[in-house]
Structure 1
Amino acid sequence: MAQESVTQNTQIAVDSHGDEHASGKNLLGPLLCWAVVFADIGTSVYYTPGILYQTVQGLAGFFVFLTMSVFILLALKYAEVTHRFPQGGGVVTVAAQAINPWFGAIGGMFILVDYFLTAAISSLSGILYLSVVFPAISGVTASVFITIGVLILLGILNWVGISESAKVSLVGAVIAFFSNIAILVTVFTHMSLPQVLALIPTMFKSHTLTPLSFLAGFAGSFLAFSGLESISQLSPVMKQPHKKVAGIALTLVVLTIGLTSPMLTIFSTLLLPEAARSEVQSAQIISLLAGKWGGPVLQTEVAISASALLIFASNTAIIGAYHVFIALSRMEFLPGVILQRNKMRGTPHISIALATGIPIIILVLVWGRINILGEMYAFGLLGAFALTCLGLDIVRYRDMKRAGSTQRSVATTRSGELANRGEEHKATEVHDLMKSNVQPAVMTTSGGVGGQVSEVEEASTLWFKINFVLGIITTILVVIAWSTNLVTKPLATAFGTGVTLLGMSIAYYNHRRHQKEGKVPVPVVVTQIRDTYPDNTLAVLTAGNPHNGAVIRAAINNADSQKPVIFLYLAGKQQRATAPRMMEIIDPYLDDQQAKDTFSKAEALAIKGKVPNRTYVYLMEEPELATQIWQSIHPRDTLVAIEDDAQFKDINPDRVRYELTPEGKVAHLLKRW
């Protein structure tokens, strides 16, 4: 009966995010997710060949092919990020929850650097492609001023509140993809297979490979795959199950990018070497390739579609940047003024102004030098990739440890059962135990609420272990690329480091200011219960409860330095007034000021009371869920406010002890498991 109860309770929805958006009509399926990601990552091919040519000349295509393998491994990790962190946020959320909130802030700075440069380089490249059709705007001054105007217009559109549409992305992505295919088909119809194969040795004639140049080319070619991180920002607006939707979407991304980007890079840099050397023409090189082999009609079509998609990618970067600003402010790393919304449109005008204004400043400083923008790109892009990969590796490692612990626990339990059942049945029972699929006492499902396979159960499989090893290899390769760029691209290092240090200085100042005001930020708040907490103390806090202070004080007064104290805040089911928007980071805890104040008080008292082992859990569930959590994590002592003990009538303690605190009476529900 006890085992049956545990198994039943492994299915409880101890996930704060739940499935509140599952019924939304505007959620994105695999095709629309592909469109949004391809509309971002697919634009890289328009400027990467020319930028990469400046470093490795004719080997640009070779390095894009080489890095494609790492891109596939990265795509596997980002697909997992989308379902493990359904609130979105990408590197900010992964680093904060896997490592520490301060690493989340660093990740936020990295991705902001990436977004700033994406907005600048994409909009400038879009104008340069448009100048193929309208030569009058091809001058440096004209292109810079028009690009600034485009960025200002995008900022105004976001201020007005015109949201980005995935359906518009789909139209742009489909046009761009088939335009790229048309270019390749046209080139292949004008060249025989032997001529195409003859290009391969040509690549290696123009540039001698040394270990340093190999590393530099490998690191620099990651620019061809910038935009992959956008999939992790789509989690809140993605249809369930996230794992399946993201997997299909990224498979489509890998196929469409793999079919186009490497070959377009090879053809453009080897067949148009003069254009690749020119700073202006290298930023138009795909359109020029189309014109050389397909004539003016294809050249014009590619120029217009590329221009539209690049400006669209610039807008996506602005949206992503201002949502990261908002998230960092909600995490109390950046000033609260960033959260202000204008009364006329209800949009976060200050964060939008920052997300638009900083790319404009960057554009003016480099004065339209697109190669310099490309050089500056490396820091934020690879820094965000590296931190996301590391964070996911840590999460996977924890799951593997939990799986091992659970298997040992189940084996111990079943061994006891074997002893009780007699020696004659041992052989059969041991065989059954080896096939056992008994789930752990506390876990979450990989498919969200109502999923079929637990993350901990999945972590015990052979595929998970292979995936873990591949993930480590991916992280090492990305870190090598990032480290190489730190040395070979000093401008990118200086710019990225400067922005990160400035941002972290502001975050530290804001943190200290909150401390002086008596607000003690909680280091980590988890929104899922995954670990078992043997012999723990569980303090149940509920939304709007005036006696939460009494429960907190009693928990700290009775804390044992060797036993964990879990502060569980049940916020109740909450419905969003509006549907989540693309690139928005959905974290109910960050919007729940009452919960943050309650945990802040608990943290301050815990520090004062020298309680070393404490965990903060925030769940968007009704108080009745506390009974199921109690049955699952087996607390030694469960503390509830006496006025609310009727809500926890299904908890079955061995005995009840009452404690009177200055803030109210608390019931201790004691249980020896």
Structure 2
Amino acid sequence: MAQESVAPTTQSNSHGGEHGSQGSMLGPILCWAVVFADIGTSIYYVPGILYGTVQTMAGFFVSLTLIVFILLTFKYVEVTHRFPQGGGVVTVAAQALNPWFGALGGMFILVDYFLTAAISSLSGMQYLSVVIPPLGVIQNIPGLGPIQLPILFVTLGMLVLLGILNWIGISESAKVSLVGALIAFFSNIAILITVFTHITFSQFMALLPLMFQGHSLTPFSFLAGFAGSFLAFSGLESISQLSPVMKHPHKKVAAQAMVIVVITIGLTSPLLTTFSTLLLPDAARDPVQNAYIISLLAGKWGGPILQTEVAISASALLVFASNTAIIGAYHVFMALSRMEFMPSIILQRNKLRGTPHYAIALATGIPILVLIAVKGNITILGDMYAFGLLGAFTLTCLGLDIIRARDWRRAIRKMRKLAALKAQATEQEQAAEPTNGAQTTATTSHDLQLSHVEAPGKDASNGVTQGEGAPSSIQEIQRPWFKIDFFLGVLTTALVTIAWTTNMTTKPLATAFGGGVTVIGMGIAYLNYIRTEKAGRVPVPVVVTRIQERLPNSVLAVLLPESEHNSAVIKAAVHNAEEHNRPIIFLYIGEEKARETAPRMWEIVDPYLEDPQAKEYFGKAESLALKNKIPTRKYVYLQGDPDLVAQVWQMVHPHDTVLAAGESQQFKDINPDRVRYELTSDGKVAHLLKRWQ
């Protein structure tokens, strides 16, 4: 089934639009703060977890994986500007493959969020036990073994409190993230300064061979260490969730933010992991102390003041990261529900606070159950982490590679068409008499029409030409960096896929938990699909909000809000497409509505998914098209004036434009060769027929 799958974009925010002014959106520094406040928390628990699997080589593997992390940032910057509505892996996978892969990506990222909420809140309370020692008391529970019961109870209470605060309606602030990120970064730098003021450069260099002392690297152990070290960079996906609240141009802002992220993470994470595991070997081996080993490293030469400051700031930032994961999880639940992969009850909001209480309950309750199941063991949580994180990375990378390959193929096709057109024009000019200007004029007009499709810098706000994220011209595809970036992207996908498949074999607990959650989630999605199918409505393939190329000899079905004859248009268009074996485009022109509130961080802003009438008609169209076995069908959703229909008509070059008979007169810019009327059981429709030259 050939379907174009380009993710929805928001039409009206190319310059701030309905989402607020540029001044209220995030620039590079605030984007860095939000991402660093997520990634930067990993350093607090990664050294202790990694030591349990690779011992003193933890610093080496974090440094090695940093290279892949840098490659990943290139791809996530592109995801950010290609998909300004947010959604990350959900949106990328849906565009590149189909909506079911988008749902699969949603399950992967939910696994990641569940474990982030659990591990961050638990680690936060373990760091707090440095300041409040009674929290860290270990109790031997009959049948359960040794458990830090006070920490577990406080962690569960913290998650319940975060759930209540989200139910009340707290909003995450980038400025708060900035304060936390700056405190964390400068605390990390302070630790490094104290270390380097107490060891010489030669002593530092002498530490490096100690990483490998007593260890023999086999191919299997190398892969296991490489795969496990990705835990140090959990949170990278945050940048793709910030698109709706990011200043324009997205590409520039995201790139600048990620440069700062790479520098700050590169300066701190490998060195802190190396120093904590090599300079504090006894603490690294201790299953209790390694949970707050960065604070102990701060106290080694920085004294109790720095140790206490790091413990308190780490605890606060980790709780903040846990709350971020809860917010991200319930927004993914809501997006999957709007995509009709989850029951609609998830979208219900309470009347008192207007917050999605069922989605929040799931996002909070599942991490609580996970913590209870593992009895508050952070090492087990670390082992469970890999499946969702690396699954989301892999699916995002693969999806972006597919999208880039499509762009490349599309550009090659257009180049060939343009070359053929120019050759034809040259032949006609040579054959024509000097006085025959009409033929030359016609050819030039055709040439200009094709150039219009390629022209860079066109205003994409109406969705007819390419959006901000898509390559705007053939010239962009032809640049050497596009090819270099493409093959670097393929390499990145291969490396991440190797890490994911390795973890699936070396960490069976992660595979069991992540795979189990994914299977249950996809099972719910399938049952929901069956339910909507029985109701005569099928969740549609991914809806496009921009037209990128022509589809000649096609059927264009025009659907309008509040129209009584949309069902008649759908039936007539499907019948025509089936009878003449034509591709079909369903175009819905939605009403442009201003948002009541500006988008929040982690929110997926998608006007189509928030338009129930459009979803209803597209669902009916998909159901009927499937029954009549229409192989090529596309769904286009635009917001704005009905004049957009004429612009789409000019771009697509359809043979038959089907619309309600009473509405045909308002599209004066459509110039058909003839008009044919058809009377259906649902009303009268008009066929605007055109044979394009």
TM-score range, shorter chain: over 0.9
Distance change in 2, residues 1:605/1:670 (3 Å): same
- Counterpart among 433, 453, 469 of residue 441 in structure 1: 453
Pairing 1:227-246 to 2, within 5 Å after superposition: 227-246=235-254
| 2:353 aligned with 1:353 | no
- Distance (Å, rounded) in 1 between the aligned partners of 2:501 and 2:567: 48
- Distance (Å, rounded) in 1 between the aligned partners of 2:485 and 2:469: 20
In structure 2, the residue corresponding to 1:579 is in which secondary structure?
A: coil
TM-score (norm 1): 0.93
- Counterpart among 132, 135, 138 of residue 137 in structure 1: 135
Partner of 2:39: 41
- Counterpart among 4, 11, 20 of residue 17 in structure 1: 11
- Counterpart among 539, 556, 568 of residue 587 in structure 2: 568
- Distance (Å, rounded) in 1 between the aligned partners of 2:282 and 2:458: 52
TM-score (norm 2): 0.91
**For structure 1, which segment, 400-409 or 546-555, has the greater mean C-alpha deviation from structure 2 after superposition?**
546-555
- Counterpart among 606, 612, 616 of residue 587 in structure 1: 606
CA positional deviation for 1:461: 2.4
CA positional deviation for 1:548: 1.2
Letter in 2 for 1:134: I
| 2:657 aligned with 1:638 | yes
In structure 1, the residue corresponding to 2:585 is in which secondary structure?
A: strand
- Counterpart among 116, 121, 124 of residue 123 in structure 1: 121
| 2:282 aligned with 1:274 | yes
- The size of the alignment, in residue pairs, is 649
- Counterpart among 477, 489, 492 of residue 471 in structure 1: 489
- Counterpart among 69, 77, 82 of residue 67 in structure 2: 69
Partner of 1:104: 102
CA positional deviation for 1:451: 5.5
- Distance (Å, rounded) in 2 between the aligned partners of 1:416 and 1:330: 49
In structure 1, the residue corresponding to 2:684 is in which secondary structure?
A: strand
Distance change in 2, residues 1:526/1:608 (3 Å): same
**For structure 1, which segment, 140-149 or 623-632, has the greater mean C-alpha deviation from structure 2 after superposition?**
623-632
CA positional deviation for 1:307: 0.7
CA positional deviation for 1:443: 8.6
Identity of aligned residues (%): 66
CA positional deviation for 1:39: 0.2
Distance change in 2, residues 1:485/1:448 (3 Å): farther
Distance change in 2, residues 1:44/1:510 (3 Å): same
CA positional deviation for 1:15: 5.7
Letter in 2 for 1:544: E
Distance change in 2, residues 1:532/1:590 (3 Å): same
On the 8 A contact 1:83/1:447 being kept in 2, the answer is no
Partner of 1:286: 294
- Distance (Å, rounded) in 2 between the aligned partners of 1:551 and 1:460: 41
Partner of 1:546: 564
Partner of 1:559: 577
- Distance (Å, rounded) in 2 between the aligned partners of 1:235 and 1:452: 11
- Distance (Å, rounded) in 2 between the aligned partners of 1:300 and 1:32: 27
- Distance (Å, rounded) in 2 between the aligned partners of 1:445 and 1:353: 45
**For structure 1, which segment, 481-490 or 402-411, has the greater mean C-alpha deviation from structure 2 after superposition?**
402-411
Pairing 1:242-391 to 2, within 5 Å after superposition: 242-391=250-399
On the 8 A contact 2:83/2:469 being kept in 1, the answer is no
| 2:610 aligned with 1:602 | no
CA positional deviation for 1:446: 10
| 2:551 aligned with 1:533 | yes
Pairing 1:208-227 to 2, within 5 Å after superposition: 208-227=216-235
CA positional deviation for 1:448: 5.8
In structure 1, the residue corresponding to 2:24 is in which secondary structure?
A: coil
CA positional deviation for 1:333: 1.1
Partner of 2:209: 201
- Distance (Å, rounded) in 2 between the aligned partners of 1:550 and 1:437: 33
Letter in 2 for 1:620: Q
| 2:520 aligned with 1:502 | yes
CA positional deviation for 1:456: 4.8
On the 8 A contact 1:16/1:528 being kept in 2, the answer is no
CA positional deviation for 1:210: 0.6
Distance change in 2, residues 1:245/1:448 (3 Å): farther
CA positional deviation for 1:442: 7.0
Partner of 1:173: 181
Pairing 1:375-414 to 2, within 5 Å after superposition: 375-414=383-422
On the 8 A contact 2:180/2:317 being kept in 1, the answer is yes
What do residues 357-410 of structure 1 show as CA deviations (whole Å, max 9, x unaligned)?
111111111111101000000000000000111111111111111111111111
In structure 1, the residue corresponding to 2:548 is in which secondary structure?
A: coil
CA positional deviation for 1:447: 9.5
In structure 1, the residue corresponding to 2:394 is in which secondary structure?
A: helix
RMSD over aligned CA atoms reads: 2.0
- Distance (Å, rounded) in 2 between the aligned partners of 1:451 and 1:584: 20
| 2:497 aligned with 1:489 | no
**For structure 1, which segment, 381-390 or 444-453, has the greater mean C-alpha deviation from structure 2 after superposition?**
444-453
On the 8 A contact 1:389/1:474 being kept in 2, the answer is yes
Distance change in 2, residues 1:16/1:176 (3 Å): closer
CA positional deviation for 1:665: 2.2
Letter in 1 for 2:607: P
Partner of 2:635: 616
What do residues 76-129 of structure 1 show as CA deviations (whole Å, max 9, x unaligned)?
101111111111111111111211111111111111110000001001101111
Distance change in 2, residues 1:372/1:447 (3 Å): farther
**For structure 1, which segment, 303-312 or 553-562, has the greater mean C-alpha deviation from structure 2 after superposition?**
553-562
- Distance (Å, rounded) in 1 between the aligned partners of 2:575 and 2:122: 61
On the 8 A contact 1:241/1:447 being kept in 2, the answer is no
Letter in 2 for 1:541: L
Partner of 2:464: none
On the 8 A contact 2:588/2:637 being kept in 1, the answer is yes
Residue segments in structure 2 that go unaligned for 5+ positions in a row = 1-7, 138-147, 433-447, 462-466
CA positional deviation for 1:645: 1.7
On the 8 A contact 1:279/1:370 being kept in 2, the answer is no
Residue segments in structure 1 that go unaligned for 5+ positions in a row = 1-13, 425-435
**For structure 1, which segment, 222-231 or 544-553, has the greater mean C-alpha deviation from structure 2 after superposition?**
544-553
